[in-house]
Structure 1
Amino acid sequence: MKEKKSINGPSIEPISGKIEKIVIFLHGYGSNGEDLITIGSRWSQEIPNTIFYSPNAPFLCPASPEGFEWFKLFERTEEEIKKGLEEAGPYLYNFINEV
């Protein structure tokens, strides 16, 4: 059986209790979902029917002990960039379809 590619991270429920909108934050290289979820706390007052997600990228970042990466930042050839996007894409696709 093929393993499902999944990611997770922090989220903030809508303060109204009713979900009408979804915001998904994607952190940068070497960071994690905690880095951006605080923006959701601030925005929730203005858009109270919104749930906020901030998933961790699927791969551990060798340059940051508590961080993650969506793809290798220092692989700059077109072939390597494409490979990285193809590897990360299914994780993000599955996350979006689950929320």
Structure 2
Amino acid sequence: MTRVLNAGRKEPVSGETRSVVVLLHGYGANGADLLGLADVLGEHLPDT
């Protein structure tokens, strides 16, 4: 069985990816609820 992973993606502020952050949401929410955190985290983790 093959499963498809649907995910949001935000490019790093610096333009070069050196690390990633993976956020998992709980039941009753979706990934779009967490994508807004990328803007806040990008200020502190520009290569992420």
The normalised TM-score by structure 2 is: 0.86
Unaligned runs of 5+ in 1: 51-99
Identity %: 35
Over 4 Å off, 4+ runs? none
Larger RCO, structure (CA 8 Å, separation 6 or more): 2
Offset at residue 13 of structure 1 (A):
0.7
Alignment of 1:2-13 (within 5 A): 3-13=1-11
Measured in 1, the distance between the counterparts of 2:22 and 2:10 equals: 11
The residue identity in structure 1 corresponding to 2:29 is S
Offset at residue 9 of structure 1 (A):
2.2
> Which residue is 1:44 aligned to?
42
> Which residue is 2:15 aligned to?
17
Measured in 1, the distance between the counterparts of 2:7 and 2:28 equals: 15
Aligned length: 48
CA-to-partner distance for each residue in 1:39-79, whole Å, 9 max, x for gaps? 111010111000xxxxxxxxxxxxxxxxxxxxxxxxxxxxx
Query: Which protein shows a greater Rg?
Result: 1
Offset at residue 4 of structure 1 (A):
2.0
Aligned Cα RMSD in Å?
A: 1.1
**Higher relative strand content:** 1
Measured in 2, the distance between the counterparts of 1:4 and 1:13 equals: 27
**Higher relative helix content:** 1
